[in-house]
Amino acid sequence: MTCKIAGCPANGRDFSGTRTSWGSTVDRGGADVNGLRRSLGPTLERMGKSIGILTAGGDSPGLNAAIRGIGKAAIRSHDMNVLGFRDGFRGLMQNRFVRLDGETLSGILTKGGTILGAGREKPHKMDVGGQVMDMTNVMLENFEALALDALICLGGGGTAKNALRLSQSGMPVLTLPKTIDNDVWGTDMTFGFDTALNIATEAIDRLHSTAHSHHRIIVVEVMGHNAGWLALGAGVAGGADVILIPEIPYSVEAIAKSILERKAAGSTFSIVVVSEGAMECTEHDRMQALKALVKSGAGDADRAAEEYAALADLQPSGTDRLAHSLEELTGLEARVTILGHVQRGGTPSPVDRLLATRLGIAAAHLVAADVSGVMVAIRGDETVPVPLGEVAGKRRAVPVDHPWIDAARSLGVGFGD
pLDDT digits (tens, 9 = 90+) for 250-285: 999 999 999 999 999 999 999 999 999 999 988 878
Which residues are CB-contacts of 27 (< 8 A; sequence separation ≥ 6)?
Answer: 33, 144, 145
Distance CA 177, CA 195 (A): 15
Q: How confident is the model at residue 35 (pLDDT cuts 50, 70, 90)?
A: very low
Nearest CA among 221, 70, 267, 208 for reference residue 152: 70
The lowest-confidence range among 66-75, 213-222, 309-318 is 309-318
Q: How confident is the model at residue 136 (pLDDT cuts 50, 70, 90)?
A: very high
All CATH 3.40.50.460 domain ranges in the chain, comma separated: 194-345
For residue 298, pLDDT over 80 is answered with: no
Q: What pLDDT shows up at residue 47?
A: 61
What are the two backbone dihedrals, phi and then psi, of residue 28, each rounded to the nearest 5 degrees?
A: -60, -35
Of all residues in the chain, what percent carry a pLDDT higher than 90?
76
Question: Residue 16 carries which DSSP code?
Answer: T
Residue 349 vs residue 39, higher pLDDT: 349
Cα 95 to chain center, whole Å? 24
Nearest CA among 365, 364, 359, 350 for reference residue 383: 359
**Quick check: 243 and 231 in contact, CB under 8 A?**
yes
Q: What is the CATH number of domain 33-191+348-391?
A: 3.40.50.450
CATH superfamily of 194-345: Phosphofructokinase domain (3.40.50.460)
For residue 44, pLDDT over 70 is answered with: no
Distance CA 52, CA 82 (A): 6
Predicted TM-score of the model (pTM): 0.85
Task: Indicate which residue of 181, 194, 241, 352 is catalytic.
Answer: 181
Distance CA 287, CA 282 (A): 9
Burial of 394 (C-beta count, 10 Å sphere; 0-12/13-18/19+): middle
All CATH 3.40.50.450 domain ranges in the chain, comma separated: 33-191+348-391
DSSP 51-102: EEEEEESS--TTHHHHHHHHHHHHHHHH--EEEEETTTHHHHHHT-EEE--H
Q: How confident is the model at residue 37 (pLDDT cuts 50, 70, 90)?
A: very low
- Average pLDDT over every residue of 241-248: 97
Of all residues in the chain, what percent carry a pLDDT higher than 70?
86
pLDDT digits (tens, 9 = 90+) for 194-208: 999 999 999 999 999
* 13-18, Cβ contacts within 8 angstroms, sequence gap of 24 or more: 13/385, 15/369, 15/371, 15/374, 15/385, 18/371, 18/372, 18/373, 18/374, 18/385, 18/387
Q: What pLDDT shows up at residue 289?
A: 76
Interhelix angle 403-410/229-237, rounded to 10 degrees, is 40
Q: What pLDDT shows up at residue 299?
A: 65
pLDDT digits (tens, 9 = 90+) for 333-372: 999 999 999 999 999 999 999 999 999 999 999 999 999 9
Distance CA 156, CA 152 (A): 13
What are the two backbone dihedrals, phi and then psi, of residue 81, each rounded to the nearest 5 degrees?
A: -95, 140
401 carries an active-site annotation: no
Q: How confident is the model at residue 7 (pLDDT cuts 50, 70, 90)?
A: very low
For residue 12, pLDDT over 80 is answered with: no
Largest CA distance in the chain: 79
For residue 19, pLDDT over 70 is answered with: no
Residue 45 vs residue 179, higher pLDDT: 179
- Average pLDDT over every residue of 391-402: 96
Q: How confident is the model at residue 301 (pLDDT cuts 50, 70, 90)?
A: low
For residue 31, pLDDT over 90 is answered with: no
For residue 300, pLDDT over 80 is answered with: no
